[in-house]
Every structure is written in C-alpha cells, then in structure tokens.
Chains A and B, each alone.
Chain A
C-alpha cells in the first residue's frame, strides 16, 4: 500500500477514528493491528518472516545472554542475507519482504541494547511486536530506537486537533516533495542513466544533479509523510534528515543524511569495532608504519572501512553499491587523517571559515563529492559509472547545441522548456526554504495556510500521478 495512494488515506482515516475512539488501555493494540493489516495488505505472504523475526528475537532476548544474542544475529541476518543476496549466492532472485532491512536493524538494535544491559527486555510479546511493526516506520525507517519509541507507543494519546493539523501539514510537504519534485526529475534521470553512453557530458552532469535532488526529495518526502502520520497519532518520530546538502564537509553530511541509519551504525557497529581488541592490535600495527600519526586516528581506520563497506552492501547485491561504500570509506578516512594538515594550511592562508564565500565553497565542494559517490550508486553497473565519469571529463561542453541536447530527456521539444522552467522554480524554492531554515529554524513557519494552499494546488495540477513507489523501499 503506497503512502501516496487513496486507499492508504482511507485506511488512515478509519485508523484515526478507531485510534481515538477505543479505551485508553486498548490504544496501542489498535496500532499493532493496523501495522499487521498494513503489512498483510502490502505483502501478505512475507509477513511470516516478520513474525519469525519478532517471535525469535523477543523469546531469545528474555534472557539476554551472549549465545542468545548470537542466535538473534544469525536468524535475522540469515533471513536478510537470504533475501537480499540470493542471486549472488547462486539461488534464484527472491523478492525481499517489505521493510526487511529496516525491521532487521531495529530488531538487532533492540537485542544489542538488551545484551549490553542498556534496556530491560520487553516481557510482553505483543508490545514488542508493536515496536517492530509500527507501520509508518516499518517500510523505510526511520530506524526506531526501542527506548525512545516504546514509551510513546504504549502511552495513551488523547485527541488533539493541533497534532492532526501539524501532521497533515507535514504529510502535505512530503507528498509535494515526492510527487512534484522527485516525480518530475525521475523521468529525466531514468532516460539518461539507462543509456549513459548516448548522452554528452553536460546532460550527464544535469542528470546527476537531478538524481541528488530526487534522492533527497523522495527519501525526505517519505520521512515527512511518516512523521506527519505519526504526529496525527501523537507520536513523535526521530528526524532522519537535517538539510544534508547544506553540509560543509562529508563527516557533517553523514550526520544530516539518513540520521537514524548512521546512528544505528555508530552505536551497534562502529563503536563496538573501535573498542574491540582486534582493532586495538590493528591500530598498533599501523602505528609502527605511520609513526607520526595520532593513535586515536589510527583506531578509526578499520571501523570506518567496515562500516562503509557494510553500508554499501546493505543497499543490495551490486558491485556499484560496494563501490559507493568503498568511495565514502576513502573520503571519510581522508577527512580524518588530513584534518590536522588542513587545519594548519587554513591558518597559513588565513582561511576565514565565517566568510560567506568560503561557506558557499564548502557546501558546493561537499555537494560535488556526494555527487561523485551517487554516480557510482545510481549506475546500473560499475562500468556504466566509469563511462559516466569519462564522458563528464572528456565530453562536457557548454554551448547552444549541448544545452539543446540536455533538454531532450525532458520529452519532445514542446514540453522541455515548460518542464525546465517549472523544475527550476521548484528547486530554487526548495533551496531558498532550506537556506532560510538553516539560518533560522522558525523560518517559513508563519502563513502556513498560504503554503498549504500553494502545495495543494501544485500537487494536484503538477504532481506526477504514477510516482507511488519510494526509492528506499527497495533497500
């Protein structure tokens, strides 16, 4: 059931009616049933794997000893790997259960926290099932943290018109991003990336720029919708994006993009790796080679490589995903290891970090570095990515003919100019809002009725109606 479809909003209306009509003690049960109903509607057969994961994890973690924690990892990662990498394992390509990556991470996070004694295991199977199957976040995140989510899910929420309004406004923003912005650029990107050799460098640069816009509009649009839905039920989900494209460097970017996944990695993989004995020995080995390097920096190298390679292959069994992970591992390592040199250099050339031009330069530089990574990510194959880079470097010209060629993926000549104009206005508007909000979080919070009106009209008249699947749903 798509989050931008009419059946979903009918489902939501019925759910809200029930949610606020039932007895206080039964409210959480409505959410649990809604989650299971949502899952069965979307992916009826695959619910079996969700139920296996829920039951096994809950049962094993009632007694959170090491062997049980290992079993949780084996069961959950086993199902995940079997579905996501079946083709690579020589088995037939299996369609992965809806949201498997996300609920697996939530489950492992819960088990790890139980094992680390950070939380008390949940004694009630159904309450634990609600944590995993809370439907707004189940298919595409944000990856919920048990100690933050469970109290909210169990708590009774009385009807508050303010929550409904705020939630509806947030949903509107999400639908706008998804249907109007992401939906519009998708066709251009698909056309160009399906045959990268057939287009000149300028078109490939524009397609890559659009892809970055699409990724953000699609994914953050989804988050806006799920945060809005949850808000309507009085539940505050964790924000997953914080204007990532305004980051001044790559480490900052990764604290603003897909925040819940990166925090999950930090807590459950990066930090355990950093403190492990193996990593300490590895860092000691490196210290013998790089004598001038700081010990702290050397201890980050192996965990960084592990985290980024894991993040890459988490997206799926493709060489380009692995390449993307390796690329960001290298960028992050360069960022850590050159930090002190860059600092010294900045002092020498009197680099003023507060200067607006310096800030713009840093933001553009970060955007370009991210863009290079996303070319690898989006390409159908690694050789396609290489071809794209080669064409961008050797075949980029800015003249009337290349500009005319760059417009062809918009469709026939008659629609291209209008599409370009509308897209430019939309992207510019989004950029202005993000910059304003970066300076002042309260910007654009007044006159909400006017913005809501403008968004409603734009969605209906200029939205792409067929754009119902979200990109990260497939991961």
Chain B
C-alpha cells in the first residue's frame, strides 16, 4: 500500500509538472495579457505604426502622444534587452498570427545590439511566443553555441513560471504600468552628477555574427511580406553616444542597412539634446520629460517621411 502511494505521488508530481510545462510552452501566448505584448498588439487590429525593439523603445516612446498622431493606431512591442535574432522571430510571429494591416514597422537601430549574445533576454519573450516561435528562438540560441542543459531547463521549464502561477494577482498590477506596450511611469532623471559618473565600459564588446545576419533577415522578411519598415536609432546620453566603440558599432549597423538599401533614422536626424541630463533616467533610457520631448520630434520626422 505505501509503495503504491509512493509511486502514485511520483506519477502525480510528474503529471502536474508536465501539464504546467506544456501549458506554459503551448498556451502562454494566448494568456489575456493587457497593455503589452504580441497578443494585445494583434488584438488592437489594423495599426499605422508598430514599434518593435528593446526596453529603449519602451522607455523612450510616449504613447499618448503617438496615439494622437496616429489616431490611436499604434503599438509598441518591447522586451528587456531584446536582441535582433529574437526581433526577427517576433516579427514573423506577428505576421503569422495576425491578418491585420500594418502601415509601418519601426525596428530598433541599437548599435550595441550587434554585440549581444543570442539569448532569452526577458522572460516575457517566452510568454509572447507560440510553441513554434519558442522552438525557433531556442534553435537560433543553440546555433550560436549559447545553450547548455541548465539553460534548456530554464528556457522550457522555469522561465516565466512565476508569472504564470501568480497571473491572477500580478497581471492587474503589471497592466497598469503600460499603455500599448510603452511605459506609463513618470520616471525622473537621477541628475547630471550620477549620469556623468556612471561607469560603463563597452570597449571589449565583440560583434556576434548571428546578430549581424539578423539585420539582413529583418529587411528580407519585411520585403518578402511587402511590409513598409524603418530602423530608428534612439538617442542615448551623450557619453554613450560619443563612445568610440558605440560609434564603430553604429557604422557597422549603418553599413548593413546601406548594403541592403534599407531606410533609417539616426539619433542626430531628430532634434534632441542628448547632453541634457534631465532627459535621461540612465545611459540608455529616457526620463518622462525626455520621452515627451523625443516623441514629439520623432513624430515630426516620421510624418515628414510619410509625406515624402
């Protein structure tokens, strides 16, 4: 009898684990997440502009202003540390799951993205991708040699599980922090002293081939779908933007775009003072004040392009 109970306990635990893992991997993309992510963007219907990038886009886009400019037909899909290989998969996922029309896809021209490892940078990526998308991203991570058994376990089993189990309690809290994928927090600058003294060293960053190929893949995928697109560089705090390695990476990124004859907007094309510490929360992300200022100018540049 006790042996039977022991076996039953192990079998029941195994079944519960399998059910949770299967649910997370197959159905997490269908969870009713509000105000952010691929599913909510698709549910928003036809859109004039879709931003797809990292937390830089999330922090630097003022959505109410965008809303006004694009009649509410705009969305910002972003993930913490999102990199280019994942961006390709996210774009393809949207096109596959959605029948809606999208006027313009705005991709992030983040020079340092070329040096990022292919990885799961944000557990929200796991949530938003379908099973096929998850498998594809894993395949790309594996091809880049960035996987091991422990990472596989984390990717397919534990990652995002916290959010899944606490979903009914945490989702209402999370959803108030975003509006159409962009941040609603009124973030403030930590001050010039902090930003001027913040240490960073990107001099040893190296290019990752998969990320370089991914830029061309994004362009190819958009052209294949007849989708209008553009790459936009968000201004960083002047110390980062003037860094030699940063400039070198930007040149490399631009070379790929030019090679593929792809449209882009550089930080310098938008009238914005990247030396103003009040505009930044840290080196990469803008404060609420900077976000408003930048969005106003970005809308103007995007509209000008539209008119041409």
Cβ distance A7 to chain B, nearest Cβ, rounded Å = 12
Which single residue of chain B is at the shortest CB-CB distance from A413?
Answer: B177
- Contact: A449 with B123, CB < 8 Å? no
A369 proximal to B (CB < 8 A): no
Are A418 and B154 also in contact (CB < 8 A) when A452-B9, A453-B12 are?
Answer: no
A410 nearest in chain B by CB position: B162
Q: Fill in one digit per residue for A148-179: 1 if any B CB lies within 8 Å of its CB, else 0.
A: 00000000000001000100000000000000
Across the interface, name the chain A residue whose C-beta is closest to B17: A460
What are the interface flags for A77-91 relative to B under an 8 Å C-beta threshold, 1 for contact and 0 otherwise? 000000000000000
| Stretch with Cβ within 8 A of A (4 or more), from B109-117, B167-175, B203-211, B240-248 | B167-175
Report the Cα distance A417→B122, complex, angstroms. Answer: 15
B157: A residues at CB distance < 8 A = 460-461
Q: Is B266 an interface residue (CB 8 A)?
A: no
Q: Does A289 contact B (CB under 8 A)?
A: no
CB distance from A99 to the nearest CB of B (A): 25
In the complex, the answer to whether B12 meets A418 with C-beta atoms within 8 Å is no
Q: A461-B157, A463-B158 are in contact. Are A417 and B166 (CB under 8 A)?
A: yes
Question: How far is the CB of B159 from the nearest CB of chain A, in Å?
Answer: 10
- Whether B150 sits at the interface, judged by CB under 8 Å, is yes
A-facing mask of B137-179, CB < 8 A → 1, else 0? 0000000000000100110011001110110011001100100
User: Is A417's CB under 8 angstroms from B170's CB?
Assistant: yes
- B197 at the binding interface (Cβ < 8 Å): no
Query: With A422-B162, A462-B162 known to touch, is A414 a contact of B124 (CB < 8 Å)?
Result: yes
A422-B165, A465-B153, A466-B150 in contact; A449/B3 too (CB < 8 A)? no
- Pairwise interchain contact A414-B174, C-beta atoms closer than 8 A: yes
Evaluate contact between B170 and A421: CB separation under 8 angstroms.
yes
Of A412, A418, A457, most buried by chain B (CB within 10 Å of CB) is A418
Query: Which chain A residues in 182-215 approach chain B with CB under 8 Å?
Result: none
The A446-475 residues at the B interface (CB cut-off 8 A) are: 449, 452-453, 456-457, 460-463, 465-466
Is B69 on the interface with A (CB-CB < 8 A)? no
A456 CA to B15 CA in the complex, in Å? 11
Q: Verify if B305 is at the interface (C-beta below 8 Å from A).
A: no
| Cα(A463)–Cα(B162), bound, Å | 11
> What residues on B are CB-neighbors of A415 within 8 Å?
123, 162-163
Q: How far in angstroms is the closest Cβ of chain A from B185?
A: 8
For chain B residues 65-116, which have a beta carbon within 8 Å of chain A? 80
Task: Flag if A465 contacts B150 (CB, 8 Å).
Answer: yes
Write out, one digit per residue, whether chain B residues 1-18 have a CB within 8 A of any chain A CB (1) or not (0).
Answer: 011011011101100110
A168, closest chain B residue (CB): B6
Q: Do B123 and A165 touch across chains, with their CB atoms under 8 A apart?
A: no
Residues of A within 8 A of B6 (CB): 165, 449
Q: How far is the CA of A447 from the CA of B170 in the complex (A)?
A: 31
Contact of B2 among A165, A414, A456 (CB under 8 A): A165
* In the complex, residue of chain B having the shortest beta-carbon distance to the beta carbon of A450: B9
**Count of A residues near B, CB < 8 Å?**
22
List the B side residues contacting A463 at CB < 8 Å. 158
> Is B20 part of the binding interface, using a Cβ–Cβ cutoff of 8 Å?
yes
Are A414 and B122 in contact, CB atoms less than 8 angstroms apart? Answer: yes
**Beta-carbon contact of A457 and B16 below 8 Å:** yes
In Å, the complex CA distance between A413 and B184 comes to 13
From DSSP, what is the main secondary structure of chain B's interface residues?
helix
Tell me if A457 and B13 are in contact (CB < 8 A): yes
Q: Are B9 and A461 in contact (CB under 8 A)?
A: no
Whether the pair B150, A412 counts as a contact (CB closer than 8 A) is no
Residues of A within 8 A of B150 (CB): 465-466
Is B3 within 8 A of A161, CB to CB? yes
Given contacts A449-B5, A449-B9, A452-B9, contact A418 B16 (CB under 8 A): no
Q: Is the CB of A414 within 8 A of B80?
A: yes
- Complex contacts, B20 vs chain A, CB 8 Å: 457, 461
* Whole-angstrom distance between the Cβ of A454 and the nearest chain B Cβ: 9
Chain A residues whose CB sits within 8 angstroms of the CB of B80 once the complex forms: 412, 414
B161 touches A417 (CB 8 A): no
A417/B174 in contact, CB under 8 A: yes
Contacts of B161 in A (CB 8 A): 461-462
Chain B residues, Cβ within 8 Å of A165: 2, 6
Give CA–CA (A418, B158) in the complex, Å: 13
Considering only residues 81-114 of chain A, those with a C-beta below 8 Å from chain B are none
| B9 and A419 contact, CB distance less than 8 A | no
Q: Are A465 and B158 in contact (CB under 8 A)?
A: yes
A residues in contact with B158, CB < 8 Å: 461-463, 465
Q: How far is the CB of A450 from chain B (nearest CB, A)?
A: 8
CA distance A161 to B166 in the complex (A): 38
Scan A423-467; emit 1 where CB is below 8 A from any B CB, else 0.
000000000000000000000000001001100110011110110
Complex Cα distance, B2 from A457, in Å, reads 20
Q: Which residue of A lies closest to B127 (CB)?
A: A414
State A417–B166 Cα separation when bound (angstroms): 9
Most-contacted residue by chain B among A412, A414, A460 (CB, 10 A):
A414
Residues of A within 8 A of B165 (CB): 418, 422, 461-462
A411 CB to nearest B CB, Å: 9
Give the docked Cα–Cα distance between A462 and B9 (Å): 19
In the complex with contacts A422-B162, A465-B153, A465-B154, A414-B5 CB distance below 8 A = no
Give the CA-CA distance A422 to B160 in the complex, in Å. Answer: 13
Give A404's nearest chain B residue, CB to CB.
B185
CB distance from A451 to the nearest CB of B (A): 10
Report chain B residues within 8 Å CB of A461.
Answer: 17, 20-21, 157-158, 161, 165
- Asked if residues B12 and A419 are in contact (CB atoms below 8 Å), the reply is no
Given contacts A165-B2, A421-B170, A460-B157, contact A414 B9 (CB under 8 A): no
Extra pairs beyond A412-B80, A415-B162, A449-B9 (14, CB < 8 Å): A414-B123, A414-B124, A417-B169, A418-B162, A422-B165, A452-B13, A456-B13, A457-B17, A457-B20, A460-B13, A460-B157, A461-B17, A461-B157, A461-B158
Q: List 10 A-B contacts (CB under 8 A).
A: A165-B6, A417-B173, A417-B174, A422-B165, A422-B166, A449-B9, A453-B16, A461-B21, A461-B161, A461-B165
Please list the 8 inter-chain residue pairs (A to B) with the smallest Cβ-Cβ separation, ordered nearest first: A418-B162, A456-B13, A418-B166, A417-B170, A449-B9, A421-B166, A460-B17, A412-B80
Interface residues of A (CB under 8 A from B): 161, 165, 412-415, 417-419, 421-422, 449, 452-453, 456-457, 460-463, 465-466
